Structure 1
């Protein structure tokens, strides 16, 4: 059997994605204070793979990815700030990670400040991330792995048109309980880019 026919294009040197109300850009150290407002919130972290984070925790967990645009490498992934355009506030962050370069597949994830919820900003930002994953990074398939009790993230995945592919029953011991995982995915050929 020969290698995969899939080849990733080089990562962009600079990444700045602007939509109607949000901008996606690499995270910088100056964003950490705004990130603590939501990543330090126990309700936000309930379904995330980390406990509430301090500024030092954030720097330790993702600091080496600050400012980066490459999804390849030992700790591959790109973390992007969601900046609200009207006031330049960082209201969340997005991640593109767990790259399988041979198949052109990666995982996506999102964390949004609850204070910014209910306005469609997360939907706009995640759609922009998927556009970027397919158009800029040349990926073929994206997956979102969501805790089955995380109704808001499930609704977001469905709202943007991701396909529900699996419901894994009690597949992981997570934060003191057996957790179900719901997997959503979308292929580049199925995706309709944002206008």
Structure 2
């Protein structure tokens, strides 16, 4: 299995496959309450079979070139993920998502991991527009979008039904020319 180092701190980006469903379920369980505040993943991954099905769905998306899922590991332990929830290569668009267990937050792991997959999408797959969607109250996720150099496009009012309540969703994006310019400026 391959792994892409995220830095010198033992963090890496790697695939997550259905045979790792027990490990995937364990990390969801460790972060069930915090992850579930903003995304519905914990209500969909509740046991080993639903964990395996979720991972299979992303293998199917990868095979169809419509999405991807990458694990974030620290010293070999799965602590979260970044993903292309949707990807439309023909239209040149993709939506990035993420989640982390609470013990792994505040270290820049999502920002570093998202940079890798966005760069791959822009440079290797020809994606022109990469989107980031976050519940309006999800300050850490919005901060990642800002660190990635994204622009706030607007708010989808009462767009996301979560835990029986409708929530506003902020939409952020970066275009391929902006991504490349920011990379060149960073050196």
TM-score above 0.5, yes or no: yes
What is the SS of the residue equivalent to 2:24?
helix
SS in 2 for 1:184: strand
What is the aligned partner in structure 2 of residue 80 from structure 1? 70
Match of residue 56, structure 2, among 37, 52, 63: 63
**1:34 corresponds to 2:23:** yes
Alpha-carbon distance in structure 1 between the residues aligned to 2:61 and 2:77: 20
- Structure of higher RCO (CA pairs closer than 8 Å, 6+ residues apart): 1
> TM-score under structure 2 normalisation?
0.81
Distance (whole Å) between structure 2 residues aligned to residue 163 and residue 47 of structure 1: 21
When normalised by structure 1's length, the TM-score is 0.78
Aligned length: 177
Task: Work out the CA distance in 2 between the residues paired with 1:71 and 1:140.
Answer: 19
- State the superposition RMSD in angstroms: 2.5
Query: Equivalent residue for 1:92?
Result: 80
Q: Give the 3 Å change call, closer, same or farther, for CA 147–116 of structure 1 in structure 2.
A: same
1:122–1:173 CA distance, 2 compared to 1 (3 A): closer
**Structure 1 unaligned blocks of 5 or more:** 1-13
Distance (whole Å) between structure 2 residues aligned to residue 35 and residue 49 of structure 1: 15
Q: Contact 1:167–1:180 (CA<8 Å) still a contact in 2? A: yes
